[in-house]
Chains A and B, each alone.
Chain A
């Protein structure tokens, strides 16, 4: 596997995609989700709305490309996502409302499952997983990138192709 994916499976979601999902999901939960799930007006709807608002809120405070105030480190954000997902799933059982019918706990569990699976596919370094074996490339490389970039002088002579007397320009360079 690659250095980026210390997990045994690909984690292609980078921090921009994760952020876009955070805001979209947050907004959907607060606005349309209760009506679509037909739980409008119930306790479940309120809980899910709060979850959505909180999620969007701490996303805006996260230090990643789509964050507004970059306060919370990305890995901490992912940890909060996980804790929040578990809390959301647990809520109907803690309050006892699960006894009032399936629609009072299934949405919570489903949303939680979605959140956890998206977390499993998110690369904690934020770059997005990829398939190259960087170590193999380093071993096979017959060139030294660091030396090429940082050592030695200019590879070009200023003014050497100037049409109005390249020699003069090169001399003054």
Chain B
């Protein structure tokens, strides 16, 4: 994986920038890291392009640091996760959850998915429902 990524969100650049700053939508990993975030209007009526360039990867948490050393690109995966999460919140009002990935998309979840069957009552809180 390279060090830049981009995602297009439906909405004018002003709207999207405003939501980016809003605490309910704010993608923490990206804003807390040293990434360079730019907003550009997409051609036609396609919305707003969000470009994220990782300057210096600074993963929070032990898992992130270990992965960073071994894989070197978990931070980009997390950035993409957060961008998609932001897009889902802005466009649909909720985070997409499946039975296999009930917290929504998480890079760590890719390796360890639940089976695609309903959660027990006890698992709901852990999933953030």
Please determine if A and B sit in direct contact within the complex, based on CB atoms under 8 angstroms apart. Answer: no
Q: Give A residues with C-beta under 8 Å from B.
A: none
Q: Give B residues with C-beta under 8 Å from A.
A: none
